[in-house]
Amino acid sequence: MSKIARRQFIQLSAVAAAGCFVRPGQEARAQDLPKLEESDPTAKSLKYVHDASTVDPSTRANPAEVQNCANCALVQGADGDEWRPCQIFPGKLVAADGWCSVWAPKA
Ligand code: SF4
């Protein structure tokens, strides 16, 4: 396992453990959730930005060209919403045009 992959695995494990505390039904109140700030410590550690176009594609671990929260496997909520819940940031909304280093393609 490469150094970057190991770091991402550790970050994902910590975030996934935190996500276990999310209660079912929370998604139904998504519009009431606060927006994730780029300055949030977890957001910073996962390189989250509101605008995916500001990220240098060469710095991404996954080679897929078009990456944003709207086409990530971990986003929740309704297609077309500007701000949506994300499994990685429980209790917060991420920008549909955003991106973080955990981005994964939808199956
Ligand atoms: Fe966006 Fe996916 Fe990262 Fe969540 S995991 S912030 S949806 S890129």
Q: What is residue 81's predicted lDDT score, i.e. its pLDDT?
A: 95
Residue nearest to atom 3 of ligand 1 (CA): 100
Residue 102 belongs to some domain of the structure: no
pLDDT in tens, 36-94: 999 999 999 999 999 999 998 888 877 677 899 999 999 999 999 999 999 999 999 99
- Is pLDDT above 70 for 12? no
Domain, as residue range, for 58: 33-95
CATH of the domain at 60: 4.10.490.10
Q: What is residue 6's predicted lDDT score, i.e. its pLDDT?
A: 59
List the one residue out of 90, 86, 80 whose CA is nearest residue 100: 86
Residue 76 belongs to some domain of the structure: yes
Task: Report whether residue 72 contacts ligand 1, using a CB cutoff of 6 Å.
Answer: yes
**Dist. CA 52–CA 35, nearest whole Å:** 16
Q: Which atom of ligand 1 is nearest to 99's Cα? A: 8
Give the predicted TM-score (pTM) of the model.
0.75
Residue 41 belongs to some domain of the structure: yes
Residue 78 belongs to some domain of the structure: yes
Residue 79 belongs to some domain of the structure: yes
The domain tally of the chain equals 1
